């Protein structure tokens, strides 16, 4: 556990992954993640990512990563202007649908046209909202995200952000372990690329 007022990441190497979890950070009433990005710990996380360390942001963590400019774009209020808490389907490039919970009021991914073109060209869109058959449709988009975006990475592929909560779907006792697939895809595929 890391405290937002601390700066010390000496216990971590670039083989480790720092996770910015979901929840609420201070100042979210202004704009989610806007104040949290200025914490001393986030300055150290930015340096860590700049050296190649892996960083994963889930929900509010994704918002903070965008506010910190570790990931492009922004997370806006959901298109329906309501908080959404339910299971949704997401898929990566392989088209395999995964059932993962969401719980957010500001999860609508937005970026300008050039950023969107860059994300597509660099294969930085990791997950899109889809239906249970893996079809990416507007009806499957819970929050109005551009191009159904549920998760992205940076160009270096060491910083990842997503609105869905894979950590809430990792045990059969919870009725779903599709989140394990997300973690395998994010981290074990990265290890294979490096070998």
Overall average pLDDT of the 101-107 stretch: 96
| Domain range 17-194, its CATH number among 3.50.50.60, 1.20.1260.10, 2.60.40.10, 3.40.50.880 | 3.40.50.880
Q: What is the pLDDT of residues 48-69, one digit of tens each?
A: 999 999 999 999 999 999 999 9
pLDDT band at 105 (very low <50, low <70, confident <90, very high): very high
| pTM score | 0.92
Which of 23-27, 82-86, 115-119, 125-129 is least confident? 23-27
Q: If you average pLDDT over every residue of the chain, what do you get?
A: 92
Residue entry with tokens 């595929």:
189
Other C-beta atoms closer than 10 Å to the C-beta of 189 total 12
Which active-site residues does the annotation give?
Answer: 59, 165, 167
Q: Is the pLDDT of residue 189 over 70?
A: no
CB-based contact 72:119 (threshold 8 Å): yes
All structural domains of the chain with their residue ranges? 17-194
Distance separating alpha carbons of residues 7 and 121, to the nearest angstrom: 35
> For residue 129, what are the contacts with CB-CB under 8 A and spacing of at least 6?
88, 89, 90, 136, 140, 141, 142, 145, 148, 149, 150
């Amino acid at each position: 556990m890391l405290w937002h007022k601390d700066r010390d990441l000496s216990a971590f190497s670039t083989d480790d992954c720092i996770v910015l979890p979901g929840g609420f950070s201070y100042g979210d009433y202004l704009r989610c993640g806007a104040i949290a990005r200025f914490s001393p710990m986030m300055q150290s996380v930015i340096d860590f990512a700049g050296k190649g360390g892996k960083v994963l942001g889930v929900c509010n963590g994704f918002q903070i990563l965008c506010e910190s400019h570790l990931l492009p774009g922004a997370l806006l209020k959901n298109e329906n202007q309501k908080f959404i808490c339910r299971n949704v389907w997401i898929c990566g490039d392989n088209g395999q649908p995964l059932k993962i919970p969401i719980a957010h009021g500001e999860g609508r991914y937005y970026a300008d046209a050039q950023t969107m073109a860059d994300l597509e060209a660099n294969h930085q869109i990791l997950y899109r909202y889809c239906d249970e058959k893996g079809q990416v449709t507007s009806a499957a988009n819970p929050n109005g995200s551009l191009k159904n975006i549920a998760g992205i990475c940076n160009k270096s592929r060491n910083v990842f952000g997503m609105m869905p909560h894979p950590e809430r779907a990792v045990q059969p006792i919870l009725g779903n372990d599709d989140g394990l697939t997300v973690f395998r895809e994010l981290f074990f595929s990265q290890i294979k690329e490096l070998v």
